[in-house]
């Protein structure tokens, strides 16, 4: 079974059913299947096939959905990139995965020129929307998405992959500051999707709202889960306008509402929402960061007919645990138990299982586990280690948990310094490296501080260079021009020096301390 | 002028003073990547403080907030006049 077979099978079962609703347009399963076939033929005609990676740098749109399936149908792997990536990091990632082609917005002309100059592996561009393609000549071919796709046949292209082939590279923040490409195969993604659809009880009648970016495994899994069961995805570009999501739920009679805690915190703050507008929702899922117990308590007041699912996972295996129903009410601080078709264990540093109540690293065994990190054999070896059987590797998550007698897991801490903000993972080192580029900055340390809406807010503590004037605005402005939006610090604090151990290593935890931002000092 | 005041806020706070050539009166802030979810909250705070209005939860939709034209239309509907004087304020001079 290949990942795009999910779409093909649903198109055969429900030819006229809405597969995707996006920007006022309704795409049936037949429509989506045929348009992605055309695009797959187009990609193949331009030389894309097995062994290629095609990058998709788009916001949530019908073009991004078609690209996912078409790239797979052409036998290649897709690389979904966050639409708020800036040119330098975009080029870094394109080089890292040696992308053969990029699908992007035609209006990004200046970025296209940078990619042409800097990324040798890219052979052509597929440009969506206005200002596309033909109008602009470049060093490498630029095709207009719409007219290019329309010129190829709607029949299924020949199969050229097996389920052990790479379906996608998914970039995730690394603790060293360099993003890592997680290798997902058709088999690993298909296995995760099957388990998720099983515990959510997805059915063809489901209408799933997706405001999460498709560059995020949690956002992508909404699309693949819907395709698996023949449900409808209502694709939203973002959750910038929260009330618009509420309106969309009512208009489309949405049954599944996936979000991150930041979305729920925003919705729970709004005073004049009529909960009647959300009554069609039968399930709400939260992942990406810990769902505060206070939200667990208040969400049923907003989503009156919905079961709440609190979930935990990581890009390296998509999903691990979920908790819902009575168990969630009884254990609001837990992330639950393992989803179907996997085995979990908690291990101490020596690799031995820990007793109930003790803390250990979560180790995951299952077909949904990644094959490794792209071109990073040492990091792969540290994360995927021999397990109970000599012929397989198990995923060492780097997350510490304890387990109760009934097998419910409780998150304790991470082994690294990764910040979780708005449901996204951010490496503090990557933000530090960016700020350190400023000549007016002598030293910088970045950490996460508790925030009621963001989960953790990014805080930068800056030591100005001697005699230099540096402002909060200059630092934030620089970060905005270099980093994805969610990585830009919310708080900038200036100090005379950074807290360090005698050897010079930064004491990151000591950066949190500062009257206003320290909840313990405020006694809250 | 109201629109100039709004444009100055957008340029100063989201574009860090660098006005791109393609920021026209009907440019969608979302489409152009100018404003994201936390940016919308900052914009609302600015509107409430600068123009003395209250933005209802149900008014937080792109039709009201997602371009300079939308903002002007919305604010004038809330009683802010075209010169950008706060709603209910005494005319000056």
User: Looking at the 3D structure of chain B, how many domains does it have?
Assistant: 1
- The answer to the question of residue A153 being in a domain is yes
Confidence grade of residue B17 (pLDDT, cut at 50, 70, 90): low
Q: Are residues A291 and A435 in the same domain?
A: no
Query: For the segment A99-148, what is each residue's pLDDT rounded down to a tens digit?
Result: 999 999 987 888 999 999 999 999 999 999 876 555 566 789 999 999 88
Confidence grade of residue A289 (pLDDT, cut at 50, 70, 90): confident
A63 vs B contacts (CB less than 8 Å): none
pLDDT of residue A386: 93
Question: What CATH number should be reported for the domain holding residue A397?
Answer: 3.40.50.12780
pLDDT of residue A38: 97
B92 and chain A in contact, CB less than 8 A: no
Q: Are residues A406 and A425 in the same domain?
A: no
Reference A252, options A503, A25, A15, A86; nearest CA is: A25
The partner residue sitting opposite B35, judged by closest CB among A240, A242, A490, is: A240
Question: What CATH number should be reported for the domain holding residue A501?
Answer: 3.30.300.30
Q: Which domain holds residue A165?
A: 5-184
- The answer to the question of residue A203 being in a domain is no
Q: Select from A109, A211, A241, A276 the residue whose CB has the most chain B CBs within 10 Å, as the one to mutate to test that interface.
A: A241
Q: Are residues A35 and A129 in the same domain?
A: yes
Q: Are residues A260 and A160 in the same domain?
A: no
Last residue of a domain, one of A388, A414, A440: A414
- The answer to the question of residue A192 being in a domain is no
- The answer to the question of residue B92 being in a domain is no
Q: For A73-77, A107-111, A134-138, A420-424, which range has the lowest pLDDT when averaged over its residues?
A: A134-138
pLDDT of residue A424: 87
What percentage of residues in chain A have a pLDDT greater than 90? Answer: 74
Restricting to B residues 2-21, those with a Cβ less than 8 Å away from any Cβ of A are: 16-17
B62/A241 touch (CB, cutoff 8 Å), yes or no: yes
Q: Which domain holds residue B57?
A: 2-16+25-77
Measure B49 CA to nearest chain A CA, in Å: 19
B45 and chain A in contact, CB less than 8 A: no
Tokens representing residue B25 in the block:
């009166």
Name the packing angle between helices A109-118 and A87-97 (round to 10°): 40
The CA distance from A74 to A41, in Å, is: 7
The CA distance from A192 to A3, in Å, is: 11
pLDDT of residue A134: 55
Q: Are residues A355 and A245 in the same domain?
A: yes
Taking CA–CA distances from B38, the nearest residue in chain A reads: A240
Confidence grade of residue A290 (pLDDT, cut at 50, 70, 90): confident
Last residue of a domain, one of A414, A442, A463: A414
Q: Select from A57, A240, A423 the residue whose CB has the most chain B CBs within 10 Å, as the one to mutate to test that interface.
A: A240
The CA distance from A216 to A427, in Å, is: 16
Is residue A407 over pLDDT 80? yes
B56 vs A contacts (CB less than 8 Å): 272
Is residue B21 over pLDDT 70? no
The CA distance from A124 to A451, in Å, is: 43
Q: Which residue's entry shows tokens 């052509």?
A: A124
- The answer to the question of residue A489 being in a domain is yes
The CA distance from B73 to B68, in Å, is: 9
pLDDT of residue B36: 75
Average pLDDT over residues A318-335: 93
The CA distance from A172 to A216, in Å, is: 9
Taking CA–CA distances from A277, the nearest residue in chain B reads: B58
DSSP state of A360: E
- Find all residues with CB under 8 Å of A350, minimum gap 6, and list them: none
Q: Which residue's entry shows tokens 């803390």?
A: A359
The partner residue sitting opposite B58, judged by closest CB among A243, A266, A490, is: A243
A272/B56 touch (CB, cutoff 8 Å), yes or no: yes
Is residue A269 over pLDDT 70? yes
Q: Are residues A485 and A358 in the same domain?
A: no
- The answer to the question of residue B30 being in a domain is yes
- The answer to the question of residue A194 being in a domain is no
B61 and chain A in contact, CB less than 8 A: yes
B30 and chain A in contact, CB less than 8 A: yes
Residue B52 Rama label (left phi>0; alpha psi -120 to 50; beta): left
- The answer to the question of residue B45 being in a domain is yes
User: Looking at the 3D structure of chain A, how many domains does it have?
Assistant: 3
pLDDT of residue B93: 44
Size of interface A-B (CB pairs under 8 A): 53
Question: What CATH number should be reported for the domain holding residue A53?
Answer: 3.40.50.980
Is residue A15 over pLDDT 90? yes
The CA distance from A320 to B57, in Å, is: 35
Q: Are residues A367 and A484 in the same domain?
A: no
CB A20 within 8 A of CB A27: yes
The CA distance from A185 to A317, in Å, is: 11
Last residue of a domain, one of A359, A391, A414: A414
Is residue A336 over pLDDT 90? yes
Q: Are residues A46 and A103 in the same domain?
A: yes
B30/A238 touch (CB, cutoff 8 Å), yes or no: yes
Measure A524 CA to nearest chain B CA, in Å: 24
Q: Are residues A397 and A510 in the same domain?
A: no
Torsion of CA A387, A393, A398, A404, to 10 degrees: -50
Taking CA–CA distances from B30, the nearest residue in chain A reads: A240
A480/B16 touch (CB, cutoff 8 Å), yes or no: yes
Is residue A385 over pLDDT 90? yes
Average pLDDT over residues A161-165: 96
B30 vs A contacts (CB less than 8 Å): 237-238, 240
Buried (b) or exposed (e) across A84-108, using 16+ Cβ within 10 A?
Answer: bbbbebbbebbebbebbbbbbbbbb
Confidence grade of residue A423 (pLDDT, cut at 50, 70, 90): confident
Helix, strand, coil percentages in chain A from 3-state DSSP, rounded to 5: 35, 25, 40
The partner residue sitting opposite A240, judged by closest CB among B17, B37, B57, is: B37
Q: Are residues A115 and A33 in the same domain?
A: yes
- The answer to the question of residue B71 being in a domain is yes
Distances (CA, A) of A61 to A118, A238, A241: 27, 11, 17
- The answer to the question of residue B10 being in a domain is yes
Is residue A288 over pLDDT 80? yes
B66 vs A contacts (CB less than 8 Å): 241
- The answer to the question of residue A206 being in a domain is no
B36/A481 touch (CB, cutoff 8 Å), yes or no: no
pLDDT of residue B90: 54
Measure B92 CA to nearest chain A CA, in Å: 33
A272 vs B contacts (CB less than 8 Å): 56-58
Measure A280 CA to nearest chain B CA, in Å: 19
Average pLDDT over residues A31-60: 97
A240/B61 touch (CB, cutoff 8 Å), yes or no: no
- The answer to the question of residue A132 being in a domain is yes
At residue A395, the 3 state secondary structure works out as strand
Confidence grade of residue A524 (pLDDT, cut at 50, 70, 90): very low
Measure B56 CA to nearest chain A CA, in Å: 8
pLDDT, mean over chain B: 84
Question: What CATH number should be reported for the domain holding residue B68?
Answer: 1.10.1200.10
Average pLDDT over residues A240-267: 93
Measure B10 CA to nearest chain A CA, in Å: 13
Q: Are residues A264 and A348 in the same domain?
A: yes
Measure A340 CA to nearest chain B CA, in Å: 34
Taking CA–CA distances from A472, the nearest residue in chain B reads: B16
Confidence grade of residue B87 (pLDDT, cut at 50, 70, 90): low
The CA distance from A223 to A220, in Å, is: 5
Q: Are residues A246 and A334 in the same domain?
A: yes
B71 vs A contacts (CB less than 8 Å): none
- The answer to the question of residue A215 being in a domain is no
pLDDT, mean over chain A: 92
The partner residue sitting opposite B62, judged by closest CB among A83, A244, A273, is: A244
A241/B66 touch (CB, cutoff 8 Å), yes or no: yes
Question: Looking at the DSSP assignment, which residues form a beta bridge with residue A362?
Answer: A346
Reference A346, options A408, A419, A290; nearest CA is: A408
pLDDT of residue A515: 36
The CA distance from A458 to A484, in Å, is: 13
B16/A477 touch (CB, cutoff 8 Å), yes or no: yes
Query: For the segment A196-207, what is each residue's pLDDT rounded down to a tens digit?
Result: 999 999 999 999
């Amino acid at each position: 079974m290949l990942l795009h077979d999910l779409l093909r099978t649903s198109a055969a079962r429900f030819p006229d059913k809405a597969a995707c609703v996006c920007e006022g347009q309704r795409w049936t399963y037949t429509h989506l299947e045929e348009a992605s076939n055309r695009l797959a033929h187009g990609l193949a005609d331009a030389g894309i096939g097995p062994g290629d990676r095609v990058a998709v740098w788009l916001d949530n749109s019908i073009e991004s959905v078609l690209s996912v399936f078409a790239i797979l149908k052409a036998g290649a792997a897709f690389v979904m990139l966050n639409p708020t990536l800036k040119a330098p990091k975009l080029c870094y990632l394109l080089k890292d995965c040696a992308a053969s082609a990029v699908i992007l917005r035609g209006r990004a002309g200046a970025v296209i020129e940078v990619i042409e100059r800097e990324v040798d592996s890219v052979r052509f561009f597929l440009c969506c929307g206005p200002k596309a393609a033909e109008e602009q000549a470049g060093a490498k071919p630029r095709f207009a998405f719409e007219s290019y796709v329309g010129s190829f046949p709607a029949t299924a292209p020949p199969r050229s992959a097996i389920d052990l082939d790479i379906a996608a590279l998914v970039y995730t923040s690394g603790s060293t500051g360099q993003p890592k490409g997680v290798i997902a195969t058709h088999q690993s993604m298909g296995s995760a999707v099957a388990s998720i659809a099983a515990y959510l009880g997805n059915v063809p009648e489901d209408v799933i709202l997706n405001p999460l970016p498709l560059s995020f495994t949690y956002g992508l899994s909404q699309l693949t889960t819907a395709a698996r069961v023949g449900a409808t995805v209502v694709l939203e570009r973002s959750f910038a306008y929260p009330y618009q999501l509420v309106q969309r739920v009512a208009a489309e009679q949405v049954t599944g509402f996936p979000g991150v805690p930041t979305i729920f915190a925003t919705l729970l703050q709004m005073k004049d929402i009529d909960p009647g507008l959300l009554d069609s929702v039968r399930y709400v899922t939260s992942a990406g960061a810990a769902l505060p117990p206070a939200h667990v308590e208040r969400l049923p007041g907003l989503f009156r007919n919905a079961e709440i699912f609190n979930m935990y996972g990581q890009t390296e295996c998509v999903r691990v645990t979920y908790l819902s129903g009575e168990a969630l009410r009884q254990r609001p601080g837990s992330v639950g138990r393992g989803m179907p078709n996997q085995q979990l264990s908690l291990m101490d540093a020596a690799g031995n299982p820990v007793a109930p109540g003790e803390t250990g690293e979560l180790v995951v065994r299952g077909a949904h586990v990644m094959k490794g990190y792209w071109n990073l054999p040492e990091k792969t070896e540290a994360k995927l280690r021999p397990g109970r059987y000599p012929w397989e590797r198990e995923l060492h998550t780097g997350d510490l948990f304890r387990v109760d007698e009934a097998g419910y897991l409780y998150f304790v801490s991470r082994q690294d310094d990764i910040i979780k903000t708005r449901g996204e993972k951010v490496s503090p080192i990557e933000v530090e490296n960016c700020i350190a580029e400023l000549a007016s900055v002598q030293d910088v340390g970045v950490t996460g501080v508790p925030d009621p809406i963001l989960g953790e807010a990014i805080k930068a503590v800056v030591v100005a260079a001697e005699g230099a004037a540096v402002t909060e605005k200059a630092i934030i402005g620089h970060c905005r021009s270099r980093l994805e939006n969610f990585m830009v610090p919310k708080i900038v604090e200036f100090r005379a020096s950074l807290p360090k151990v005698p050897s010079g290593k930064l004491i990151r935890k000591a950066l949190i301390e500062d009257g206003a931002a320290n909840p313990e000092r405020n006694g809250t | 002028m109201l629109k100039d005041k709004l444009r100055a806020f957008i340029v100063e706070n989201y574009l860090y003073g660098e006005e791109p050539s393609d920021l026209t009166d009907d440019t969608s802030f979302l489409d152009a990547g100018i404003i994201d979810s936390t940016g919308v909250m900052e914009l609302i705070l600015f509107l409430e403080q600068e123009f003395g209005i209250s933005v209802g939860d149900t008014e937080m939709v792109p039709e009201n907030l997602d371009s300079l034209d939308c903002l002007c239309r919305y604010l004038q509907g809330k009683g802010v006049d075209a010169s950008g004087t706060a709603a209910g304020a005494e005319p000056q001079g």
